[in-house]
């Protein structure tokens, strides 16, 4: 055997052992889960990516889909039968899922969008009539449960929602998070808690309801001006809130709220109760009560606790649109946070360009150094999501995350490892706002193909950024504007163009979403909303491009004939690299927009940086 063959043989054996070490526990967990299913007479188990609050990011206790499949993406649905384990995931996760599921006994089913219902169709077609499908009603959304029940009943398949089979198959399952809850205080908390409660009660009165149940943790945090750390990256805490015409009850873990804070809440009409008592409180509602709940934001388990004598009105939580419309004072704090965030990025990127080829730099190094720069800024609380630093092929996976056991090396002290494109999607939580930004940087000299892709994505970002539109336009209707420059070349991307962003809250916030989604009246664009603009283009196995800014809806006048119009104020402050631009593809008006943006970035960030960071800022914001 040759030396190379011998080395390859040893590498293959090592890789096989490493994979077996990673995947063997998952295969055993699936075996254990199937034994539990058999004991309960369950033919198929549905495991959604959800907790009792239908959160996007989950406390460890409810990460069942990850534990029993190995797939770590933030969205996806697991279906387990005696013969199959399938993870249904959209295009953002396909490459990641295929790699993580390899050898686990679970397989990927590719679906077109995050809201697709292919798992329901699969269950309806594959489970035999008379058999039973199980799903834990405590984490199954009310609207999703009705859709699932309708599809299964039409095929003669029963649905059980009273079982938590994961508990039996997960002996060391984590308990509830115990981190303390704290108050978001003025001046950043610009609207006082009593004012928000009064606003909600006015909305309740308009609908003629006596009670209102809120389970989504970001809504509860916004209503109460409280924050926590129960969910990674999002400053929220697990709780349910039941309001009535005079007061309300906050169901939260015991010991999480101090006596002083509890007294302040009590003064505002909110009393505390143990987290587990929310169902009992609903069951105790008096006959004749009228309860408002949001079917997309409440679980089936909570809905089933409501007595038959209580009238239920299903409608959007009033806090959702209220939370999405930031006040002028809040927007002022967001602008301040953006300048601080931009300064941190300038310091990081100045270091990166100097260190490339002279220091050991990997995707992990980028995450560590950029996070450290942000942590130095006043008002910094945490990152707003796990940093995506993807070099070349890794950048083609929209939700890629570098791990110690799997990441790309970019530079060594002796020089660059390879040339290509480095995509960095990152953000932070500040007391005065939430940031989310994506930039792409050339490592070495970009190729003509990379420049063409980059320029078309940039043109999509610019096209939507400078759009004006009538107030009330449904956000999905704006999606095609960002895609048009890519469509011209027969190109596209599989994710949405933009998502709402919270105010020191969730980095993904509704109701607006700029995507190829079915429009909903709640998605109407209104003044004060903050939304991302992030078109992309991905070449699997080669590179990815995404350019993302956050924008603010501002009113630009109300002509008598046509009503109020909105425009986007770009909030994000960080240079967009011009070395990757193909000048022949950039139109003159687009060039002017970019030069104007860079002039504003330089003006706003320069007071916050000096030395190498200031020199880098000035160089990267030169007009083209």
Q: Which residue has the tokens 């209104």?
A: 526
Q: What's residue 596's pLDDT? A: 98
Contacts 24+ apart (CB under 8 A), 277-286: 277/251, 278/215, 278/240, 278/242, 278/251, 278/302, 279/305, 280/305, 281/242, 281/249, 281/251, 282/213, 282/242, 282/306, 283/307, 285/211, 285/310, 286/310
Whole-angstrom distance, CA of residue 192 vs CA of residue 262:
16
Q: What's residue 395's pLDDT? A: 95
Decide if pLDDT at 9 tops 90.
Answer: no
Mean residue pLDDT of the chain comes to 93
pLDDT average, residue stretch 393-410: 90
Query: Which part of the chain is CATH 3.40.350.10?
Result: 3-169, 182-323
> If DSSP codes are grouped into helix, strand and coil, which group holds residue 152?
helix
Q: How confident is the model at residue 306 (pLDDT cuts 50, 70, 90)?
A: very high
Decide if pLDDT at 556 tops 50.
Answer: yes
Question: What is the Cβ-side half-sphere exposure of residue 615, based on CA atoms within 13 angstroms?
Answer: 6
Nearest residue to 264 (alpha-carbon basis) of 365, 155, 186: 186
Q: What's residue 41's pLDDT? A: 96
Q: How confident is the model at residue 75 (pLDDT cuts 50, 70, 90)?
A: confident
> What angle do the packed helices 328-355 and 611-620 form, to 10 degrees?
100
Q: What's residue 56's pLDDT? A: 87
Q: Is there a contact between 226 and 183 (Cβ–Cβ < 8 Å)?
A: yes
Q: What's residue 92's pLDDT? A: 80
Q: What's residue 406's pLDDT? A: 87
Q: Which one is predicted more confidently, 13 or 622? A: 622
Q: Which CATH class is domain 182-323?
A: alpha beta
Decide if pLDDT at 14 tops 50.
Answer: no
Decide if pLDDT at 6 tops 80.
Answer: no
pLDDT average, residue stretch 229-236: 94
Question: Which residues have a Cβ under 8 Å from the Cβ of 471 and sit 6 or more positions away?
Answer: 524, 525, 526, 527, 555, 563, 564, 565, 566
3-state secondary structure 85-108: EEEEECHHHHHHHHHHHCCCCCEE
Whole-angstrom distance, CA of residue 478 vs CA of residue 533:
10
* pLDDT tens digits, one per residue of 252-303: 999 999 999 999 999 999 999 999 999 999 999 999 999 999 999 999 999 9
The dotted CATH code for 325-620 is 3.90.230.10
Radius of gyration for the alpha carbons in the chain, expressed in angstroms and rounded: 25
Q: What's residue 3's pLDDT? A: 35
DSSP string for 286-313 = PTT-EEEE-TTSSBHHHHHTS-TTSEEE
* pLDDT tens digits, one per residue of 80-104: 999 999 999 988 888 888 889 999 9
Q: How confident is the model at residue 8 (pLDDT cuts 50, 70, 90)?
A: very low
* pLDDT tens digits, one per residue of 479-526: 999 999 999 999 999 899 999 999 999 999 999 999 998 899 999 999
Whole-angstrom distance, CA of residue 380 vs CA of residue 343:
13
Any idea what DSSP says for residue 411?
Answer: E
Q: Which CATH class is domain 3-169?
A: alpha beta
Whole-angstrom distance, CA of residue 206 vs CA of residue 189:
26
3-state secondary structure 491-558: CCCCCCCEEECCCCCCCCEEEEEECCCCCCHHHECCCCCEEEECCEEEECCCEEEECEEEEEEEECCC
pLDDT average, residue stretch 52-66: 93
Q: Is there a contact between 158 and 319 (Cβ–Cβ < 8 Å)?
A: no
Q: What's residue 13's pLDDT? A: 40
């Amino acid at each position: 055997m040759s030396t190379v063959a011998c080395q390859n043989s040893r590498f293959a054996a090592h890789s096989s052992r490493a994979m077996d070490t990673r995947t063997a526990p998952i295969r055993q967990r699936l075996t254990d889960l199937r034994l539990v299913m058999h004991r309960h007479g369950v033919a198929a188990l549905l495991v959604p990516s959800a907790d009792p609050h239908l959160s996007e990011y989950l406390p460890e206790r409810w990460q069942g889909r990850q534990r029993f499949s190995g797939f770590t993406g933030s969205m996806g649905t697991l279906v387990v039968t005696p013969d199959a384990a399938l993870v249904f995931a959209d295009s953002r996760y396909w490459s990641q899922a295929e790699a993580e599921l390899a050898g686990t006994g679970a397989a990927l089913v590719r679906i077109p969008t995050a809201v697709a219902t292919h798992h329901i169709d699969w269950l309806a077609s594959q489970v035999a009539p008379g058999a039973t499908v199980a799903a834990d009603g405590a984490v199954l959304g009310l609207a999703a449960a009705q859709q699932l029940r309708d599809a299964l009943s039409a095929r003669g398949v029963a649905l059980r929602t009273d079982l938590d089979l994961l508990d039996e198959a997960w002996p060391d399952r984590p308990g509830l998070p115990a981190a303390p809850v704290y108050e978001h205080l003025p001046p950043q908390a610009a609207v006082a808690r009593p004012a928000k409660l009064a606003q909600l009660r006015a909305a309740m009165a308009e609908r003629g309801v006596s009670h209102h149940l809120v389970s989504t943790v970001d809504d509860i945090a916004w209503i109460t001006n409280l924050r926590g750390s129960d969910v990674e990256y999002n400053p929220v805490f697990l709780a349910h809130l039941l309001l009535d015409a005079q007061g309300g009850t906050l169901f939260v873990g015991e010991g999480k709220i101090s006596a002083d804070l509890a007294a302040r809440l009590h003064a505002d009409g909110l009393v505390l109760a143990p987290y587990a008592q929310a169902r009992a409180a609903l069951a105790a509602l008096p006959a004749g009560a009228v309860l408002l709940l949001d079917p997309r934001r409440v679980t089936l388990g909570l809905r089933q606790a409501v007595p038959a004598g209580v009238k239920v009105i299903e409608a959007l939580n009033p806090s959702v649109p209220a939370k999405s419309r930031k006040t002028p004072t809040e927007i002022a704090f967001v602008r301040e946070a953006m300048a601080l965030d931009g300064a941190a990025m300038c310091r990081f990127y100045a270091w990166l360009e100097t260190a490339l080829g002279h220091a050991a730099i990997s995707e992990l190094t980028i995450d560590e150094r950029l996070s450290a720069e942000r942590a130095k800024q006043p008002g910094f609380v945490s990152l707003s999501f796990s940093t995506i630093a993807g070099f070349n092929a890794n950048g083609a996976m929209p939700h890629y995350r570098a791990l110690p056991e799997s990441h790309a090396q970019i530079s060594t002290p002796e020089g660059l490892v390879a040339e290509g494109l480095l995509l960095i999607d990152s953000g932070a939580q500040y007391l005065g706002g939430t940031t989310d930004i994506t930039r792409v940087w050339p490592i070495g000299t970009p190729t003509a193909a990379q420049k063409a892709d980059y320029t078309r994505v940039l043109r999509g970002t610019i096209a939507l950024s400078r759009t004006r539109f009538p107030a009330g336009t449904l956000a999905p209707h704006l999606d095609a504007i960002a895609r048009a420059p890519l469509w011209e070349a027969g190109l596209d991307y599989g994710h949405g163009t933009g998502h709402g962003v919270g105010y020191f809250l969730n980095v993904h916030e509704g109701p607006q979403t700029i995507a190829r989604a079915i429009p909903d009246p709640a998605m109407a664009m209104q003044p004060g909303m903050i939304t991302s603009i992030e078109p992309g283009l991905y070449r699997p196995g080669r590179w990815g491009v995404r350019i993302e800014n956050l924008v603010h809806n501002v009113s630009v006048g109300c002509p008598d004939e046509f009503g109020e119009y909105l425009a986007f104020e770009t909030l994000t402050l960080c240079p967009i690299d011009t070395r990757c631009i193909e000048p022949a593809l950039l139109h003159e008006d687009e060039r002017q927009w970019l030069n104007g943006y860079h002039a504003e970035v330089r003006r706003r960030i320069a007071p916050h940086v000096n030395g190498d960071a200031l020199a880098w800022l000035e160089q990267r914001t030169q007009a083209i």
